[in-house]
Amino acid sequence: MSSTPVSYDYDLLVIGSGPAGQKAAIQSCKLRRRVALVERARTLGGVSVNSGTIPSKTIREAILYLTGLNQREIYGQGYRLRDQISVDDLRTRTRQVVERERGVVRDQLVRNRVTLVDGTASFHDEHTIAVDDGSGAERRLTAGRIVLAPGSTPARIPDVDFNDETVFDSDGILRIRRIPDSVVVVGAGVIGIEYASMFAALGSKVTVVDGRSTMLDFCDPEITDALRYHLRDLGVIFRFGEIVTAVAGRPDGTITQLASGKQIAADAVFYSAGRVGATAELRLDRVGLESDERGRIAVDSRYRTAVPHIYAVGDVIGFPSLASASAEQGRIAACDAFGVEAHSMNELLPFGVYSIPEISYVGRTEPELTADAIPYEVGISHYRELARGQILGETHGLLKLLVSSVDHTLLGVHVIGADATEVVHVGQAVMGLGGTVDYLVDTVFNYPTLAEAYKVAALDAANKLRAVSVLASSSGAL
């Protein structure tokens, strides 16, 4: 006697409408599956659209425009588009972009026939999600497969007086009422350095404090050294190797206490202590799942949790916690859920830091290659060597190629300067296709462009490789 197939309300149920949840839902609909998406916030788009990626990058763009910072090489260091910049000036542009992005997200989900459900989701059992819409009535939805994409929230330290008046995290900073004259930024990670550079560009006196010996330690040291130089040029003070023990908010300012006994007075403190997965309300225990102390859920290479039909993607699984990577994780999880083969090039994941100036890279760094005893050569191109760099007034940027000494393939691409997060993708494409530095030497780029930096850097690396080869052949192998 055969068993009757179980009937569910949906083939897939997604929790969270950030990049990971969006792409998981839409990919599943493209596979002609019945999909519902539950979102606890009043607006769609998750942290990425509402309080993270989109707002912060839009604020950065507004700062660059209003301060005229990028034009000072041409018009002089005193050049400004506007003498006084208010928070409202920054919010005007941010509000427009965020609202439009929310509309884009909703339109894409509705157009693909994703059922949208408002409310806070939690597990009832392995195939049932309870949704609380705040009215007191609980709605239950069943699904054959479930994707967890609840996103993350800023980590809050007990000894820090977060008051959203003078002491802020990455959510609260968007509600700041005025541009402070002085700011202490605690944490030299991506978010901390991005906001430190933005405040400095606005003219605030910025002090960055971090217990580590350097900033952005996952990036190539030469690039971070260059970024630190530029930030110091904007007046940023760095205090590395210093531990913050307490932050006290006062009506008229803040006091940051360091383990070394130092105290730093400032108008405001931006505390960037990383983020934690938003798993507290999911009731993971009901399905035999758990999260670690940072709210992260363990998954395998296909983003399956310990319960095979339940997937987790995005910030809730931890590193790299990038919107771009999260979207790809959602797509891969949806394909796996319905037995569709999908490939991803995660080993060539591009990283972008939207500091001022911005930096981006893909592939390996010099310390990594050295530690693994992989022989390589370096090719450098400075923006000041490019006509496009001169036109833009961007003379401090550079592109760095790490090239295999054995087969001339690209091992890493590192960029700092204007449009670094765009420029890096040329190198990413070449690496993904197994291309060599010789390909870049032979390629004709539009002129004048920043992409031409690849030709200059490739010639630099090729000439160094040729010099070694000539000397080795004439004097014998070492």
Q: What is the DSSP string of 343-386?
A: ---GGG--EEE--SS-EEEEE--HHHHHHTT--EEEEEEEGGGS
d(CA 168, CA 472): 59
Residues 54-62, mean pLDDT to the nearest whole number: 95
Does position 207 have pLDDT exceeding 60, yes or no? yes
Pairing of strands 310-312, 182-186: unpaired
AA identity, residue 299? V
- Whole-number pLDDT of residue 209: 97
The CATH class given to the 167-273 domain equals: alpha beta
72: left (phi over 0), alpha (psi -120 to 50) or beta: alpha
pLDDT at 2: 43
Q: What is the mean pLDDT of residues 66-79?
A: 81
Residue 473, pLDDT score: 82
| pLDDT higher than threshold 80 for residue 78 | no
Dihedral of CA atoms 66, 70, 75, 81 in degrees, nearest 10, equals 0
The answer to whether residues 370 and 344 touch, using CB atoms and an 8 Å cutoff, is: no
Beta strand 182-186 with 268-271: parallel, antiparallel or unpaired? parallel
Specify the higher pLDDT residue, 250 or 310. Answer: 310
Question: Do the beta carbons of residue 411 and residue 435 sit within 8 Å?
Answer: no
In which band, very low, low, confident or very high, does the pLDDT at 478 lie, cut at 50, 70 and 90?
A: low
pLDDT value of residue 475: 64
First to last CA, the chain: 76
Report how far residue 422's alpha carbon sits from residue 416's, in angstroms, rounded to the nearest whole number.
11
What angle, 0 to 180 degrees and rounded to 10, lies between the N-to-C axes of helices 221-233 and 190-201? Answer: 30
Of the pLDDT bands very low, low, confident and very high (cuts 50, 70, 90), residue 135 is confident
pLDDT at 302 over 70: yes
Domain range annotation of the chain = 10-152+276-347, 167-273, 357-475
For residue 243, pLDDT beyond 90: yes
| Residue 269's pLDDT band (cuts 50, 70, 90) | very high
**Distance of alpha carbon 478 from alpha carbon 229, whole angstroms:** 38
Q: pLDDT (tens digit, 9 = 90+) per residue, 322-346?
A: 999 999 999 999 999 999 998 876 7
Decide whether 10-152+276-347 matches 357-475 in CATH topology.
no
pLDDT at 436: 97
Distance CA 192, CA 185 (A): 6
Total residues found in the chain within this entry: 478
* Res. 161 pLDDT band, cuts 50 70 90: confident
Report helix, strand or coil for 333: helix
Flag whether pLDDT at 28 surpasses 80: yes
Residue with tokens 């002089």: 76
Where would I find the H helices in 212-312?
A: 221-233
Percent of the chain clearing pLDDT 90 (strictly above): 85
Please state, as a whole number, how many other Cβ atoms lie within 10 Å of the Cβ of residue 320.
15
pLDDT confidence of residue 273: 86
- Strand-strand pairing, 410-416 and 359-363: antiparallel
Q: In the predicted model, is pLDDT for residue 5 greater than 80?
A: no
Supply the CATH classification number for the domain 10-152+276-347.
3.50.50.60
Q: Is residue 393 scored above 70 in pLDDT?
A: yes
For residues 186 and 269, what is the distance between their CA atoms, to the nearest angstrom? 7
pLDDT for the residue numbered 476 = 57
- The pLDDT-based confidence of 71 (bands split at 50, 70, 90) is confident
Whether the pLDDT of residue 387 is over 50: the answer is yes
Angle between helices 453-475 and 420-432 (to 10 degrees): 50
Asked whether 194 and 56 are in contact (CB, 8 A), the reply is yes
- CATH assignment of 357-475? 3.30.390.30
Lowest mean pLDDT among 48-57, 79-88, 307-316, 329-338: 79-88
User: Is 247 a residue whose pLDDT tops 60?
Assistant: yes
Give the mean model confidence (pLDDT) for residues 71-89. 81
Average pLDDT of span 85-107? 95
What mean pLDDT is predicted for residues 281-296? 96
pTM of the model: 0.92
Q: What is the pLDDT of residues 31-43, one digit of tens each?
A: 999 999 999 998 9
- Percentage of the chain modeled with pLDDT above 70: 98
Q: For residue 175, give the DSSP letter.
A: G
- What was the pLDDT predicted at 383? 96
Lowest mean pLDDT among 139-148, 243-252, 466-475: 466-475
Average pLDDT over residues 312-328: 94
